[in-house]
């Protein structure tokens, strides 16, 4: 009787052990499968996160380019004092290439004239300078406000100067030497490209010649500097000075 009972006990324990082992194996298999699913889901999430900048950035960049606005602060200085602050707003048009945008910014940056950098040796007052614009305008039938705007944008209304840019243009009105030789006017400075008075009269003559050849002030300004953004800036500033372009 005892042997039979012990045998049943042992059989029950053995069955229980087998059941536990089977359950353990099932749990291990389930854990492996579940872990694999978790790893796959994690990898998918990472791939999606990594791909998001590729999908989103170009659209965002294009939108920001279309809305870019460049604000240029111009400061005409005399003896260290700002006598005429001017602000120009240049808006980049949708669809313009990065190279064109870079050229716009370079042109806008080149317009800025820091206080105190303008040559003031023998320089006239602003009223006297505008008298010179009027005289040149009357001689060549060019709006004085247009001449003033070109002078402002080209050199910040600097007086006699030999300043030049990388393209080779120089002087107060930034003439190329070849253009200067063709249109130079001696207005009391000896016909020199570095003379502000001569440069102002020469600019008026050149603008008039461009107008007569091309048929409009827009085209005349474009002939002075081949840039649509330049034309827009000059016209805006000239009209603020009563040019009526």
CATH at 140:
1.10.530.10
User: Residue 13 belongs to what domain range?
Assistant: 1-55
Q: Give the CB-side neighbour count of residue 76, counting CA atoms within 13 A.
A: 21
Same domain for 146 and 74, yes or no, is yes
The pLDDT score that the predictor gives to residue 125 is 87
Q: Give the CB-side neighbour count of residue 30, counting CA atoms within 13 A.
A: 6
Let me know if residue 60 belongs to a domain.
no
Same domain for 212 and 183, yes or no, is yes
Gyration radius of the chain over CA positions = 38
- Take residue 163 and report the two structure tokens written for it: 């300043």
Alpha-carbon separation of residue 233 from 72, 91, 154, 178, 218 (angstroms): 10, 11, 11, 25, 11
The C-alpha atoms of residue 141 and residue 208 are separated, in whole angstroms, by: 7
The pLDDT score that the predictor gives to residue 55 is 36
Last residue of a domain, one of 55, 81, 99: 55
The pLDDT score that the predictor gives to residue 123 is 78
Let me know if residue 164 belongs to a domain.
yes
Let me know if residue 64 belongs to a domain.
no
Same domain for 102 and 219, yes or no, is yes
Same domain for 109 and 147, yes or no, is yes
Same domain for 40 and 80, yes or no, is no
- pTM summary value: 0.53
pLDDT string in tens for the chain (245-residue length)? 445 666 666 777 777 777 777 777 777 776 666 666 656 555 555 545 444 443 333 333 333 333 445 444 444 443 333 344 444 445 566 666 677 666 666 555 444 433 333 344 567 888 899 999 999 999 999 999 999 999 999 998 989 988 888 888 999 999 999 999 999 999 998 999 999 999 999 999 999 999 999 999 999 999 999 999 999 999 999 999 998 98
Same domain for 83 and 109, yes or no, is yes
Burial level of 91, CB count in 10 A (0-12/13-18/19+)?
Answer: middle
Same domain for 116 and 11, yes or no, is no
Same domain for 155 and 123, yes or no, is yes
Let me know if residue 152 belongs to a domain.
yes
The pLDDT score that the predictor gives to residue 101 is 65
Domain count, the chain: 2
């Amino acid at each position: 009787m005892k042997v039979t009972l012990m045998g049943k006990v042992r059989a029950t324990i053995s069955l229980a052990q087998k059941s536990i082992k089977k359950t353990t194996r099932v749990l291990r298999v389930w854990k492996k499968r579940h872990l694999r699913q978790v790893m796959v889901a994690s990898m998918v999430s990472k791939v999606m996160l990594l791909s998001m900048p590729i999908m989103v950035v170009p659209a965002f960049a294009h939108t920001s380019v279309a809305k870019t606005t460049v604000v240029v602060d111009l400061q005409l200085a005399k003896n260290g004092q700002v006598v005429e602050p001017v602000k120009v707003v240049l808006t980049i048009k949708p669809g313009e290439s990065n190279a064109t945008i870079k050229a716009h910014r370079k042109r806008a940056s080149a317009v800025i004239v820091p206080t105190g950098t303008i040559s003031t040796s023998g320089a006239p007052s602003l009223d006297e300078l505008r008298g010179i614009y009027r005289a040149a305008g009357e001689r060549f039938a060019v709006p004085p406000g247009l001449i003033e705007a070109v002078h402002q944008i080209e050199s910040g209304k600097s007086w006699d100067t030999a300043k030049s840019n990388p393209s080779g243009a120089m002087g107060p009105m930034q003439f190329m030497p070849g253009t200067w030789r063709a249109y130079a006017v001696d207005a009391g400075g000896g016909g020199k490209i570095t003379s502000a008075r001569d440069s102002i009269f020469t600019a008026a003559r050149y603008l008039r010649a461009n107008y007569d050849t091309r048929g409009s002030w827009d085209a005349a300004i474009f002939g002075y500097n081949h840039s649509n953004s330049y034309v827009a800036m000059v016209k805006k500033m000239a009209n603020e000075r009563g040019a009526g372009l």
